[in-house]
Structure 1
Amino acid sequence: MTTLLEISGVSVSFDGFKAINNLSFQIGEPELRAIIGPNGAGKTTFMDIVTGKTKPDQGRVLWGDKGISLIGLSESRISREGIGRKFQKPTVFEAQSVRDNLAMALRNPRGPFDVLFYRKNAGGAARIEKVAEQIGLSDALERTAGELSHGQKQWLEIGMLLAQEPRLLLVDEPAAGMTPAERQKTTDILVEAARTRAVVVVEHDMDFVRRLDCKVTVLNEGSVLAEGSLDHVTQNPEVIDVYLGR
């Protein structure tokens, strides 16, 4: 497993508050990683830095085989480099079919005419079918996205990111608001996706994190407090004190 993303000595302050404090973190390819921590630990800011939404005050953020710096690159350029982010609230095109949503997300070419005429592209059609199968929506391809359940919309958005073939997928609290069955399916989707890429899941739900069965990074006050298996980090007295004991 090679290192895909390496963050070292990164700090960022907002109005004097250090949201990220000398953070170092790395993830390989392929790998599944969960990030947990109390509110205000820096989890969202961490994702903002990786995706170019927030520029750190100091430190390095290196990406890919050549170790290019992500600092200063635009959000769109970072997305093209192969970093996809799923926010907590699903953002799908509700008036369009599941198939059209996936078609609009397909990686290259993505001009307006390419989107309109994707059905003529056998490769694109096959890719849509494959992604729909990955996210459990093969039977819903012709349904309007607005008709889907909350969980299905989450899966569709994950599918839209997978259609772009990212090397790193950042997923924010995917289990929130889901039924138990939907949560299990979401676990399966993320575990499967992480067989061929890096997947980082930010989550509060410990049962969900346990089902992911992966390495866990605990953030607190903008830096890494502990790292290891879920059993290892949840037995750490500091983690119990700042997070689990609440």
Structure 2
Amino acid sequence: MKSLLELSGVSVSFDGFRAINNLSFQIGEPELRAIIGPNGAGKTTFMDIITGKTRPDEGRVIWGEKSVSLLRMSESQIARAGIGRKFQKPTVFEAQTVRENLAMALKNPRGPFDVLLYRKTEAGAARIEELAREVGLHDDLPRQAGALSHGQKQWLEIGMLLAQDPRLLLVDEPAAGMTPAEREHTTDLLKRAARTRAVVVVEHDMEFVRRLDCRVTVLHEGSVLAEGSLDHVTANRDVIDVYLGR
């Protein structure tokens, strides 16, 4: 499997603190990967670098078959290239219905007048139905997004990202604040999404990571400490020491 995204020798410092330290990482397509690590391990900065929010001091970030450098691209260019990111707190349009939220995510182009002049198309309507089914919100299409549960808002936001058809989906702590049933549904949703694209899940909840049943990358002090199955990395002495604070 050829890598879709590759980081090599990436470092970034903030006020003398090395948040990312000579980090190398790659993921193929399709692939599901979990990223774990203690607080301060560099997980958020890692996603910030991929999405163009943070520029590294050194290293390479290479994307796609043509080996394009993401470091030469703006945040919006990176998003258009096929990288979608879901933050920990769901950001949906609460006053709009589920259907309208998904419709807004589908729309292209995105200028102010394009939004005003948007016309419903049959293909767009069918895609909205398909996305709603995929994330488990088909029965909720007419509901206001603000009336959804926390877990449902997370699914809606994942649906909005999938509407843009990203090749790489970065998902930050999706299990936080969810009920056990919602967590189970989220696991299934991410596993399905990863059948056709690369999905990176940053997560603290080990039970959730175990259910994802995928390759795990452990970050510590901005570098990869271990990689492999969850059983493999949790049996690693260095990983145990880091998590137990020894």
TM-score normalised by structure 1 residue count:
0.97
AA at the equivalent of 2:136: G
Shift of residue 2 of structure 1?
2.1
Equivalence for 2:186: 186
> Do structure 1's residue 228 and structure 2's residue 234 form an aligned pair?
no
Q: Does 230-239 or 67-76 show the bigger shift?
A: 67-76
Equivalence for 1:130: 130
Shift of residue 47 of structure 1?
0.1
Structure-2 change in CA distance of 1:119 and 1:186 (3 Å)? farther
Equivalence for 1:60: 60
TM-score normalised by structure 2 residue count:
0.97
> Do structure 1's residue 23 and structure 2's residue 23 form an aligned pair?
yes
Once residues 132 and 114 of structure 1 are traced to their aligned partners in structure 2, the CA distance between those partners, rounded to angstroms, is 24
SS in 2 for 1:181: helix
Shift of residue 243 of structure 1?
1.5
Shift of residue 120 of structure 1?
3.0
Shift of residue 29 of structure 1?
0.3
1:1-246 alignment runs, 5 A limit: 1-106=1-106, 108-112=108-112, 114-116=114-116, 120-244=120-244
1:196-235 CA distance string (max 9 Å, x none): 0000000000000000000000000000000000000000
Structure 1: segments with no counterpart, 5+ residues: none
Shift of residue 72 of structure 1?
3.4
AA at the equivalent of 1:138: H
8 Å contact kept, 1:234–1:244? no
Once residues 119 and 181 of structure 2 are traced to their aligned partners in structure 1, the CA distance between those partners, rounded to angstroms, is 33
Shift of residue 108 of structure 1?
2.5
Q: Does 142-151 or 67-76 show the bigger shift?
A: 67-76
Once residues 225 and 207 of structure 2 are traced to their aligned partners in structure 1, the CA distance between those partners, rounded to angstroms, is 20
Once residues 238 and 134 of structure 2 are traced to their aligned partners in structure 1, the CA distance between those partners, rounded to angstroms, is 38
Q: Does 65-74 or 177-186 show the bigger shift?
A: 65-74
Once residues 138 and 192 of structure 1 are traced to their aligned partners in structure 2, the CA distance between those partners, rounded to angstroms, is 17
AA at the equivalent of 2:123: G
8 Å contact kept, 1:103–1:115? no
Identity of aligned residues (%): 81
Q: Does 208-217 or 109-118 show the bigger shift?
A: 109-118
Once residues 23 and 4 of structure 1 are traced to their aligned partners in structure 2, the CA distance between those partners, rounded to angstroms, is 17
Once residues 201 and 21 of structure 1 are traced to their aligned partners in structure 2, the CA distance between those partners, rounded to angstroms, is 21
Once residues 126 and 53 of structure 1 are traced to their aligned partners in structure 2, the CA distance between those partners, rounded to angstroms, is 34
Structure-2 change in CA distance of 1:152 and 1:117 (3 Å)? farther
CA RMSD across the alignment: 1.3
Once residues 95 and 62 of structure 1 are traced to their aligned partners in structure 2, the CA distance between those partners, rounded to angstroms, is 39
Structure 2: segments with no counterpart, 5+ residues: none
